[in-house]
Structure 1
Amino acid sequence: MKFIPYILTALFLSGILLHPNSASAQQQVFGKITGKLVDAQQNPVEFATVALHYATDSLIVKGSISDTSGHFIFEKVREGRYYLHASFLGYKAFRSNSFAIDKSNTEIILGNVLLLPEDKTLETVTILAQKPLVEQYLDRTVINIANSILAEGNTALELLEKAPGVTVDDEGNISMKGRPGVSVMLNGKLTYLSQRELTTLLRGTSSGSVSKIELITNPSAKYDAAGNSGIINIVLKKNEKVGINGSVYGNLARSRANRYGGGTSLNYRNGKFNLYGSYDHAFRGEREYLNFTRRFYDGGTTQEPNRISYQNSATSEPLYTNNYKVGADFFINEKNTFGVLVNGNFGKYINDNNTSNLLVSSAGEILSQPQTHNDNLDRWNSNTYNINYTRQFGSKGQELSVDLDYSGNENRSRQSMDTRYLNTEKPYLETRSVRRGNVPSLTNVYVGKLDYVHPFGIKTKLETGWKSSYVSVDNNLKYDTLRNDQWIPDPSWSNHFAYKETIHAGYINFSREFGSLSIQAGLRGENTRTSGHQVTTDSLVKRNYFQLFPSLFLTKTFGIAHSTGFSYSRRVERPDYDDMNPFRFFRDPFLYYEGNPFLRPELTHSVEISHTYKGKFITTINYSYTSDVMNWMMGQVDSLNTTYQSPQNLKSMINYGISFTASVQPTSWWTSNSFANFFRNEYKGDQKGGNLNNGIWSFSVNTQNSFQLGRGFAAELSGFYNSRSVYGVFVNRGYYIISAGVQQQILDKRGTIKLMVNDIFQTRQRRNTARYENLDMDGHIRFDSRVATFSFTYRFGKDITPVRKRSSGNEDIQNRVKGGS
C-alpha cells in the first residue's frame, strides 16, 4: 500500500505528457486587464465592486475592488472572451462590451470607465459579483455560505454537516470524505478546546456569522501537519467598511425546546487605523433520546445471549454561550502594519441525563433495573491574545509577518451520578450509589510564528517560516462518594493528570508557473516532545520524535474549459490530551470510557487527482493510507454485564473513493450546487486478541438550490443523504435530511428577515450496530434536529474598503486541549 501514492503520481504525470492537447496547452496565453472607474466629474470611484465574467455563460471568473484612485487590474487571465461588470452604491451598474484575450491581444486597457449616478440611490442597490457557492483552488475547496438562507439560525456545527463531503457524528467528531481526524480552525487559528469543548463552542456559534468554509484535504507545508484527513477552516464575517459601520441580528427558534440568539459587530476605520469588535450571545435548548441494546454471553456468541441489557436515556442539554472579539490594526506607513487582537468565549453547558438500564435473562426474567441520574454542569472561559506585525518590502508581494499568541483556557465541570438499584425480589428494596466530582482543566498555550514570502517575478514564489508552540495541561479530578449521608473522598475515582507538549516546526514552500502548468512543492519538519504524567500513580510517559512532511501540488489547463490537478501530502494526527488520560468516566454503572496513555500518533499518506470543466463540474479521485490509526474501540466484560470504550491504535485504515461537484444554473432564477461522494473505508488491526477487518462501500450526496423570486424574495431548498458507513467496529445505517427556507429584504435592502425549517421530517437519526468478538450491540440516537427559525438582520455603514486580514499563529494545536471528562 505504501507504494500506491508513487504509482498514482507516475500515472498523473504520464497523463500530462501523453495528453493529445499537451503541446498546444503549453502555449496557453495569459493576459492582463486594467481600467479606472470615474464619475461624471471624472473623479475616481473608490472601493467599487468589479467582476470579470465569461462572455459565453456569464460565469464569474474573478472579482476585485477599485483602489483609492479608482484603478482596478486583473492579471494572469487565461485566453478567452470576457466582459466587465462594475457597481457601486448610488450608481447605475456598468457592463462593458465583450473583448477577447488571445495571442495577438494580451493586454486590455479599458481606460476610464464611467459610472452614472442613480436617481434613487437606496432603492437601486444591486449586488454584483456574488461568489459561487463552491470554488475550487489549487489546494482547497471553498464554500461561500454568507448569503445562504439555510445558514441562518443554525449553529456552526450544523453548518459543517451541510458542507460537501463533511459528516458529524453524535459526539461532534468530524469526518471529511469519509475520513475521521479533521483539524478545525476558526479564522485560521486554534480554539484551544477539547473535542467536547469544541463541539460546545460550535453548537453555540451562530452560523449566520460564518462567511465561508474552507475544505483543505491536502494542506501544503505552510500549514501544521496535524489532521490526517485535512483541515476545515471556518472563516467568520468581518466588517470591511470605512467610517463607523456594523450590523445587528437576532433569531428565535423552536425544536423540542426553545432557542434564541443575537449579536452585533462594529467597525471604525480611517486612513491610519482600523478598530473592530463583535459580541454574540446564544441560548440553545436541546433534548435527545438514546437507546442501546447490549447482549452478553457466558459461552461465546455462537449461542443465544444469556442476558440482554436495554438502556434508555433522555437528555436535556441547555447551552449558554458568549463570544467576543476586539482588535485594532495600525497602518504605520505603506510598508509597516501593527495589530493587536483579543478574542474569547465563555459560557455554560448543562447535561441532565436520566437513564434506565433493564437487565433481563434469556428467559425474560428481570435481573436488575437500575435508574441513574447524571447531572453535569460545565463552565468555561477561554481567551486568546495576539500581537502581529507585517512588513512589506520593495518587491511586490515580498512580505514578512510575525505573530505572538497566548491562550488561557479554563474549564470546570461539576458532575454527579446518582444510581438507584431496585431489588427484584419481594418485598422491593432500594439501594443507592451516589458520587459527585469536581473536574477542573487548566490549559495554557504559547505560540510564536514567523512567515516570509519572496516572489521572483509574477510566476515564481518562495515561502518559508518557523513556528514554536508550548502547551501545558493540568487536570486534577476529585470525586466524593455519599456514605451514611456523609461525603467521603473517593481515591479510586479521583485522578490527577498533567501533560506538556513542545513542537518546533520549520517549512519551505516553492511555487512556479510553466505556461499552463503550475507546481507547488513544500517540505515541513516538526520536532515533537511530549510528557504525560499520571500524578496519582506516578506514571510518566515521554516521547521525543522528529518527522518530515512533504507536499506536492500540480495543476494543468487544457484550453479554456479543462484543468487537471494532482496533490500529495503526508500528515500526522497526535492523540488528544485526555485520550491519553487513563481515568474512567462512567455514563452509568455498566458503561464507561477510559483513556490510553500509550497511544501513538497516526501517520497518513494522501493523494488526490481532480478534473475541472468550465469551473462548474469537478471530479476528484482520492486515496489515503493511515498507519497506527487511532479508534475508539468498544468491548464488553460479559461476567460484569459491562461495556467500555477506549482509544486504541489499530494497524491501518484505508480510504479511497471518487467525488463529483456540480454548480449549474438551470434558469435565470434557479441556481443549484450538488456534491456526491462514493468511498470505501477499511479498518484492519488486532484488538485484544481479535482480528479486525471491517470495510464497506458508502455513498453520500447533498444538494443546495437557491431561487430568486423577485421583489426581494428568495428561497432555498437543500437535501442530504448518507448511506451505510463504517467506523472501527461500528456499522452506521443511512439517513437523509431535507431543509427549506425563505427570505425577504426590507428597509431599503439593509434589513433581511428569514424563516427556515431544518430537517423538516426529523430524519437525522443515528442507528448503528457493533458485532465483533463478544461485543453485540445496537444503538439508536434521536437528535433534536428539526428546528424552525425566524431571524432579522440589519446592516448599517458606508463604502466597502479592503481591511487587513489577520490570522494569528496558533492554528496547530487543533482541538486537542481536553477537558475533564
Structure 2
Amino acid sequence: MNRICFFLLLLALQPSLYAQQYTIRGHVVNNKNEAMAYTAIRLITADSTPLLQTMTDSTGAYHMEAEAGTYQLLVEQSDQSLSLHLSGDTLLPPIIVDDAVALEGFVFTERKRLLEQKVDRLVFHVENATSATGGNALDALKATPTVRVQNETISIPGKGAVLIMIDDRLQRLPAEDLAALLKSIPANTIRSIEVITTPPAKYDAAGSSGLINIKLKTARKNAWNANIGASYLRKTYNSGNLQGLFQYNHNRLSVQASASTGKEKLLTSSESHIFYPGETWQQAVRNNTRNDMLGLGLGIDYKLSRQWTTGLKYSGSFTQRKSINHPFTTRTDDKGNENGYIATDVNAGNTPGMNALNWYHAIKLDSSGKQLTVDIDYFNYQKKDKQFFAGNEWDQDKNSVPNTFFSAKNVNINHIKNYSLKTDLSLPYKWADISLGAKLSYTNTRNDLKVYDHRTGAPVLNTEQSNVFSYKEYNEALYLSAQKQFNEQWAGQVGLRMEATQTEGFSENLQQRHKNSYWQSFPTAYLTYIPDEKNSFSINYSRRIRRPDFDYLNPFIVRTSPYFYSEGNPLLQPSFIDNISFSYTKNQQWVNSVYYTRVAGFSQELSIIDPGTNITRQTPLNYGNIHQLGLSSYYNFNKWSWWNSFTGFNVNYQQLSSQTEYIRSTAGYNAYLYTNNDFTLNKSKSVFLGVNYSVQPAGTYQIFHISTMHMLDISMKVLSLKQQLSLTLTAEDLLNGQRPLITYLSNSIQNDVRSYGDSRGFRISLSYNFGNNNIKSTQRDQGNTEERSRAK
C-alpha cells in the first residue's frame, strides 16, 4: 500500500514542479501551408544551452512556457529556427518547413526526445533510452512505458497479451519462439517501439489489445555506418552475445545488414499445489535451459525513379534449445502425512527456425502525396520438438510402486508456410485524407507427431498416439478509412475493415476433417477536440479479433505423464473484442484515459482437473465473456534537460462470466504502477543513468488471483571516443521481486503456482560505432515500410 501511495503522490506532484512562466505559442506548417503535426520543437538559451522541448499537436500548434529572456526556437525535423526576446506572453508567426529540404536524422547536441504521444499510439525512441542499451528487442520492450514483460509474455497492463509487429509485419509465433526471435534482434538496431492501442483500419484486425510495432533503424541519406557490440549477462549462469550492424545509403541504393549470435543459460523454477479432496499434491520443478541463438537480417532498397522505390528484405532467426528438469511430486493427506511421491526426469529440445522474405514497391502517383504500396511476403517456419520423459511412483518410504514405471519419447515436426499479398493506396485531398487497400493471405501448417513407448528400454512406435495434422487458412481483407481536419479544434477519422476467413483442419489418424468459414467487419473511429494549446480530448472505438493459435486446433492428445495430457480443440472459435476509450491530454505530457473492453467468446488454454482420477487435461476452450472498465494515467516530465521521467498507473475492474462447468465466474480489480527515469549526469552528455521501477499489487485477472510483484532496473551508460564507444552496465530485477503466487479454481479444485523466471541479473555491454555520414550524393526519397504477413 505504501508503494501505491508513493506513486500516486509522485504523479500528482510532478505537474507542479515548475513555476508560472510566460507562454510561447505558434504553428509549424510546410510549404503548402499544411500543418506539421507531432513535430518536435526545442527552446535553447542565447548561449546554446538546451532548455525546453515540446511537440506540435495534430493542427501543427505548439506552446511552451519560459522565463523572460532571449532564446532560439528550433524545429527538429528541419533546418528552421527562430530568434525571440521573451518579455510576456508571445504569439509567434508560423514557422514554414520546406519538405524538400527536411533533414532526416538531424542530430542536436542536447538530449534527444525519448517519447512521443500521438493520436493512436505512444512512440518510445529506443535509441535514446539508457536502460535498453546493449540488450535485445525483448529487453527494449521491458524498458518501454505502458508495456509489461513477465516470463517472456508481453502484455499491456489492463489490456492483456498483445501481438508484435516488426517493421509493420505481424509475427504469429508461439510465445517461446517469439521470445527467441526478439532475443536475436539487438536493441541497437531498433529505432523506436510503437504501442498502438487503437490500430487504424489499414492494420490486420488481429490482436485483442492492439499492437506493438518494432521499427528498425534505416541508413541516413548519403552515409554509411556500422556498429559492432558484445554483451555479458550473469543471472544464475553466464550468458553472452555478439552483434553487428552495417547500413549504407548512397544515390539510389540503400543496404542494411545485421547479424547476432549468442548463448543463454537459465534456471527457472516453479512450485505448485493441487488441493484434491482429502489429498494435496505438491510439485517442485527446477528447469535448466540452454539456448544457442542466431539472427540474420538483410535489406536492399533501390530507387528506380523519382517516383518508384522497390526493396527486398530478409530476416532469419534460428535457435537450438535444450532443457532438463526433474519434476518431483509429493502427495500429502489432510493431516500432513506424506503418502507417496512421483519422480520424473524430462529431457527436451527443439530447433525453431524462421525465414521471412518481403518484396515491396512504393510508387508516388503525383506531387500531392498520393502513393501506392505493394507488398509480397513469404514466411517459412519449422520446429522439431523432442521430449523424453521417464518416471515412477514411490510409496511413503520412497520405494518404487510396482507397475507404475512410465517412459516415452515424443517427436513432433511443425512446419508453417505463409504467402501474403497486400496493397495500400493513400489519397490526400483538401477535403479529407483517404486510405484504402486489400490483402490476401494463405497459411499452410503441418504437424507430424510420433510417440515412442520406452518402457522396455527400446523405442516402440505407438501408432494410436501418433498423428499427422494439417491445417489450411485463407484470409481476404478490404479496408477504407478517411481522416478529416474540420477546423483548428476538431479532427476525426473513420475506417472499416472487412475480413473473410476459410479454414480446414484434417487429422490423418482420426480421419477427422473440420471446416469453418466466416466474415466479419471491424470498424474504427477517432474524434479529437483541441479547445486550446494546453488541452485536448479524444474518443475512439475499435473492434478486433483474436484467432486461435494453429496448435490449439490440433485435436490429438499428447501425454507427458500418467497424470497429465494436452489436446487441441478443432471446434475452437475466434474471440471478438470491442474497445472504446475517452482520453484527456494536458500540455501533451499528462495523458488520462477511461476505457471499456468487451470480449465475446473468450478462449484460453485451461487445465481441467478430474477429482476422481487426479488426471489433469489441458485444452483450449471458448469459456466465457469478459467486461472490463479501467482508468490509465501517465505523465511525461521533461522540463529539465538532465531528467526525463515517465510515471503512470493503470487500474481496472474485470468481470468474467463463465459459460463452462469447469470454471466459475470471477470479478475483481487489478492495477499496475510504473516510473521510468533517464538522467544525464554531466554537461558533456556522456554519462547517463536509467532507473525504472514498477509494481503490480495483488489483484484478479481473468480467472487468476495474482500476488504482488515488483521490479527495479538500474542502468548506466558511458560514452567516449567522441561518443562512438558506449559502455553500459545494467542491473535487472535488482530486488528479485518477480515471484508471483497465482491461484485459480478448476472443477472447484484450488491450484496454487509460484514461479520464478530467473529474471534477476547483471549485464555489461560494449558497443562501437563508426562510418561516414557525409557521402556526396543526390538525395534519396524514403519509401514506406511494409506490413508483415500474419504467420504463426
Alpha-carbon displacement from aligned partner over 1:468-518 (angstroms, at most 9, x marks no partner): 000000001001011422211113432221110000000001001011211
**Separation in structure 2 between the aligned mates of residue 441 and residue 34 of structure 1, nearest angstrom:** 55
Matched, 1:149 2:164: no
**Cα 1:178–1:802 shift into 2, 3 Å:** farther
RMSD, matched Cα: 3.1
Q: State the secondary structure of the residue aligned to 1:797.
A: strand
Structure 1 window deviating more from structure 2 (512-521 vs 720-729): it is 720-729
1:639 aligns to what SS in structure 2? coil
Residue 549 of structure 2 is matched in structure 1 by 576
In the alignment, what sits opposite 2:474?
502
Give the C-alpha shift of residue 149 in structure 1: 2.0
Q: Distance between the aligned counterparts of 1:236 and 1:398, measured in 2?
A: 25
How many equivalent residue pairs?
738
Partner of 2:785: 807
Distance 1:608 1:207 in 2: 32
Equivalents in 1 of 2:27, 2:432: separation in Å? 15
Distance 1:265-1:802 versus aligned 2 partners, 3 A rule: farther
Counterpart in the other structure of 1:201: 181
d(CA) in 1 for partners of 2:605 and 2:702? 7
Q: Which runs of 5+ in 1 are unaligned?
A: 1-27, 36-49, 64-73, 116-124, 298-305
Go from structure 1 to structure 2 and tell me whether the alpha carbon gap of 1:180 and 1:667 turns closer, same or farther (over 3 Å shift). closer
1:762 deviation in Å? 1.1
Alignment of 1:140 onto 2:99: no
CA contact (8 A) 1:185 1:811 kept: no
User: Which residue does 2:202 correspond to in 1?
Assistant: 222
Question: Offset of 1:426 from its aligned partner?
Answer: 8.8
- Report the AA paired with residue 139 of structure 1: D
Give, as a single letter, the amino acid of the residue that structure 2 aligns with 1:77. Answer: G
What does residue range 153-168 of structure 1 map to in structure 2 within 5 Å?
153-168=134-149
Counterpart for residue 622 of structure 2: 649
Q: Which amino acid aligns with 1:142?
A: V
Name the residue aligned to 1:45. none
AA matched with 1:799:
N
Distance 1:34 1:466, change over 3 A: closer
C-alpha distance 806-721 of structure 1, shift in aligned 2 (>3 A): same
d(CA) in 1 for partners of 2:211, 2:89: 37
Give the AA of the match of 1:752: S
State the one-letter code of the partner of 2:225. Answer: N
Alpha-carbon shift at residue 402 of structure 1 (Å):
0.6
Query: Comparing 172-181 with 230-239, which one deviates more in the overlay?
Result: 172-181
2:422 matched to 1:449?
Answer: yes
2:580 to 602, 607, 617: 607
What corresponds to 1:211 in structure 2?
Answer: 191
Q: CA deviation at 1:156?
A: 2.9
Aligned counterpart, 2:249: 269
* Cα distance per residue 1:530-561 (max 9 Å; x no partner): 11112210111111111111110111212111
- Judged with a 3 Å threshold, the aligned counterparts in structure 2 of structure 1 residues 717 and 378 are, in CA distance, closer, same or farther, namely same
- 1:749 corresponds, among 686, 709, 723, to 723
Letter in 2 for 1:135: E
What is the rounded CA distance, in whole Å, between the counterparts of 2:241 and 2:26 in structure 1? 51
Per the alignment, in what secondary structure is the counterpart of residue 598 of structure 1?
Answer: coil
Query: Could you tell me whether the CA contact under 8 Å between 2:320 and 2:350 is conserved in 1?
Result: yes
More deviation, 311-320/636-645: 636-645
CA gap 1:135/1:715 in 2 versus in 1, 3 angstroms: same
**Which one of 253, 270, 282 corresponds to residue 262 of structure 2?**
282
Equivalence for 1:32 = 29
1:394 alignment counterpart: 366
Amino acid at match of 1:267: Q
Residue of structure 2 equivalent to 1:60:
53
Shift of 1:464: 0.4
Instruction: Trace 1:542-691 onto structure 2 (pairs within 5 A).
Output: 542-586=515-559, 588-665=561-638, 667-688=640-661
1:485 to 457, 479, 494: 457
Q: CA deviation at 1:126?
A: 7.3
1:476 to 443, 448, 457: 448
Give the aligned partner of residue 342 of structure 2: 370
Structure 2 SS opposite 1:572:
strand
- Is 1:96 aligned to 2:61, yes or no? no
Give the aligned residue type for 1:774: S
How has the CA–CA distance of structure 1 residues 587 and 664 changed in structure 2, closer, same or farther, with 3 Å as cutoff? Answer: farther
CA gap of 1:368–1:207, structure 2 versus 1, over 3 A, is: farther
Output aligned runs, 1:77-476, within 5 Å.
Answer: 77-78=60-61, 80=63, 83-85=72-74, 96-97=83-84, 105-106=93-94, 127-128=108-109, 131-170=112-151, 172-297=152-277, 306-424=278-396, 432-457=405-430, 460-476=432-448
> What is the CA–CA distance in structure 2 between the aligned matches of 1:109 and 1:320, rounded to whole Å?
49
Q: Counterparts of 2:29 and 2:253 in 1: how far apart (Å)?
A: 32
1:697-731: CA deviations, max 9, x gaps?
Answer: 11111111111111521111110101223343221
Which digits, 9 at most, give the CA deviation of each residue in 1:765-791, with x for residues without a partner? 121111354321111112211110111
* Bigger shift: residues 468-477 or 258-267: 258-267
In the other structure, the counterpart of 1:19 is none
Q: Are 1:189 and 1:807, in contact at CA under 8 Å, matched by a contact in 2?
A: no
Indicate which of 750, 758, 766 corresponds to 2:740: 766
| CA distance in structure 2 between the aligned counterparts of 1:233 and 1:177, rounded to whole angstroms | 17
Q: Any conservation in 2 of the 1:173–1:180 contact (CA below 8 Å)?
A: no
Cα deviation, residue 33, structure 1: 6.6
Task: Give the Cα separation in 1 of the matches to 2:119 and 2:398.
Answer: 72
Identity %: 23
- Are the counterparts in 2 of residues 155 and 206 from structure 1 also a CA contact under 8 Å? yes
Checking the alignment, whether the CA contact within 8 Å between 2:406 and 2:561 is kept in structure 1 is no
The amino acid that maps onto 1:143 is F
C-alpha separation in 1, matches of 2:93 and 2:82: 21
- Look up the match of 2:16: none
Contact 1:713 1:745 survives alignment (8 Å) = yes
Which 10-residue stretch deviates more, 342-351 or 483-492?
483-492
Structure 2, unpaired ranges of 5+: 1-24, 33-38, 65-70
How far the C-alpha of 1:102 sits from its partner, in A, is 9.1
CA–CA distance in structure 2, aligned partners of residues 784 and 198 of structure 1: 18
Structure 1 residues 424 and 610 mapped into 2: Cα distance closer, same or farther (>3 Å)? same
The verdict on how the C-alpha distance between 1:428 and 1:545 changes in structure 2, with shifts beyond 3 A counting, is closer
The one-letter code sitting in structure 2 at the alignment partner of 1:97 is L
SS at match of 1:369: strand
TM-score by length of structure 2 reads: 0.87
Which letter does structure 1 place at the counterpart of 2:494? A
Report SS of the residue matched to 1:528. Answer: strand
AA aligned to 1:407 is F
Q: Aligned to 2:182, what secondary structure does the other structure show?
A: helix
Distance, in Å, in 2 between the alignment partners of 1:229 and 1:548 is: 17
